[in-house]
Structure 1
């Protein structure tokens, strides 16, 4: 179901524990947490369909899941509901006749803007911005083209953009000054070899030093005329103090790395893995999963641990709020996990995308955490979810993704 109105104020929260007999129209539904691991024995699922399409083993149970499919917020824990105001609302702030918003989701906090990218191939200027004060959408005028941008991060006044490049422009990490539009290449090679295709980027600090991490995967094969990858897919660490680029996580740990973020304290590095079947030029295998690493005092990751599997599809967009909750863009929606990995709830893709988009396998693959808002990049639309409180306040150098005075 597509929510059509420009501003939709939905009804209050309904708690649905153990599949109650009646489900009322509501903005949020809570299903008992046991629903995620215990169903009547004759349930039937299809891995290509959303969790809420599960035939849950009895007509009543199936009906409750089906009813939840039309609700934008689905909770498995009170902590998720506590993020929402009593009358949760959605606001449609941008609408187009073509897909234009599905990646990056970077909150430039001091301008109150969200920078994002779209799915257009071989277009150098599809960086786009939505001003959250006016809801104006515009394209920034950069001093040099940022070629096929993908993920990004805002750090000390600069928007860092991971870009796939093309046949003539190497894949690279760019820096963009959002106030002037000045842009430059930060990293584009390793000892003369092209990067495969930077996907996402983040920063943190350890003591007096700051470090940039980025994921590199073979997606640039979409743009570069078929040039095969020259390096293994990896997570890289750039040290601007020592002017050194080092691989720090290789394919033996994560076959095809995708999203990447550091927690507020700068002690944990989270990386999502994309199965090889979703990529080009990779011979590896992988789980569609989220992994967490410890970061030492010199900014090196160790102690890999599996944090969670994608409910369906892949874990793409990755953001960490100030409480340590992990937000990922997956096929079922924007999934929120506790710092220990429990799925608390999700913003439901089935309620915000057209049915045809859901059936075609499209997802809410990225978004932005912007103070007390979630900005949802929904392909041909942008929705803003108003939260009950600020979940991201201070940013830069391992301090989250934005800073409020």
Structure 2
């Protein structure tokens, strides 16, 4: 979900290349940096970052499927959701993952982006190409559109999702999937929003003031919503206190500011994020995946050397899977994510 100028240029140069996933040539990559001693309770800085596969155009949206013991992740511009399982490697799970049929010239990213699994065991996906939030039955792969409009106007290109209370779904809707972004003739909404789809199917606006809303997540008690902004002018993660109805009960506060690593021109922008059972955020930012305390303090950095799009907890809960540019990687944690 990071959409910096660098990424756009890279995608433009790779558009004609075939999709060729492969086992990584190197077993490990990057490293872990400690900013605060509290990181030692979360991960050992000497733990290797293992590359599981590579060759993707832009790996995204990982989610662990507990019932099957496998990971799903997106390659958004390739329009594929892949499945990884220990001992089996990577196979295609949804192809296409998003918009089917001939892709109009105005659609830049036709595939699914952020993924989640709801309490009913359905795969919930932010379908960038179809410009919708959809549910997929994992057994039959039958797809159901849950939301594709707000007040009769189509979404821009749905980007990331988080599951709230009682089947509610929070999601972000920037214009990244449209070839001309905010100036696209396909854009119907006058803003790039953060939305809530309630359990009864209604769509409500959480925030319509953000330039580039991107990654999204919830604290363990579902009382705080986090939204990452891939905005060079405001590279922040925002925190929204939520009321019993799932809507903000006060203005959003800046939870973490990535201006300093961005100024150092580290690769990437604030993007996908996950929250562990202790309330720590594992959030992509310039340089990789940051481990942030529940108060927003940076404890450490898990870096592959490339821009990181997103991450997810999996296996026994102590593995962090990372989608980073063209690769899928994992690192073992000391503490369980869920």
Contact (CA 8 Å) 1:91, 1:383: kept in 2 or not? yes
Pair 145,6 (structure 1): closer, same or farther in 2 beyond 3 Å: closer
1:77 aligns with 2:36: yes
Q: Does 1:137 align with 2:90?
A: yes
| Paired residues, number | 291
1:226-261 CA distance string (max 9 Å, x none):
4242212111111123x311112121xx33211111
Unaligned stretches of 5+ residues in structure 2: 1-23, 100-110, 263-267
1:87 CA displacement: 5.7
Distance 1:79 1:139, change over 3 A: same
Alpha-carbon deviation of 1:301?
A: 1.4
**Are residues 216 and 380 of structure 1, via their aligned partners in 2, closer, same or farther at CA, if it must alter by over 3 Å?**
closer
1:79 partner SS? helix
Partner Cα separation in structure 1 for residue 149 and residue 159 of structure 2:
14
Deviations 1:167-208 (A, max 9, x none): xxx411111122221212111112331111111111111xxx
Contact 1:331 1:365 in 2 (8 A): no
Provide Cα deviations, 1:33-78, integer angstroms capped at 9, x if missing partner.
Answer: xxxxxxxxxxxxxxxxxxxxxxxxxxxxxxxxxxxxx960101122
Structure 1, unmatched stretches of 5+, are 9-69, 278-285, 354-362, 393-405
Counterpart for residue 98 of structure 2:
146
SS of structure 2 residue aligned to 1:151:
strand
C-alpha displacement of 1:270: 0.4
Change (3 A) 1:318 1:116: same
Structure-1-length-normalised TM-score = 0.66
Q: Give 1:135 deviation, angstroms.
A: 4.6
Match of 1:384 among 322, 330, 333: 330
Aligned with 1:117 (options 49, 74, 79): 74
Counterpart of 1:140 in 2: which secondary structure?
strand
TM-score, normalised to structure 2, is 0.79
Task: Output the CA distance in 1 between the equivalents of 2:59 and 2:205.
Answer: 28
Out of 364, 367, 372, the residue aligned to residue 308 of structure 2 is 364
CA, structure 1 residues 223+344, in 2 after alignment: closer, same or farther (shift >3 Å)? same
Contact 2:131 2:154 in 1 (8 A): yes
**1:338 maps to which residue?**
293
Q: Distance in 2 between matches of 1:233 and 1:378?
A: 25
Counterpart for residue 95 of structure 1: 54
Return the offset for 1:84. 2.4
1:100 to partner: Cα distance: 4.0
Cα deviation for residue 218 of structure 1 reads: 1.3
Say which SS state the counterpart of residue 364 (structure 1) adopts.
coil
CA shift, 1:274, in A, is: 2.2
Please point out which of 108, 131, 142 is paired with 1:171.
Answer: 131
CA distance in 2: counterparts of 1:379 and 1:385, whole angstroms: 16
1:287 maps onto 2:234 in alignment:
yes
For 1:92 and 1:234, locate their aligned partners in 2 and report how far apart those are by CA, in whole Å: 34
**Match of 1:25?**
none
1:329 to 284, 287, 296: 284
Q: Tell me if 1:197 matches 2:157.
A: yes
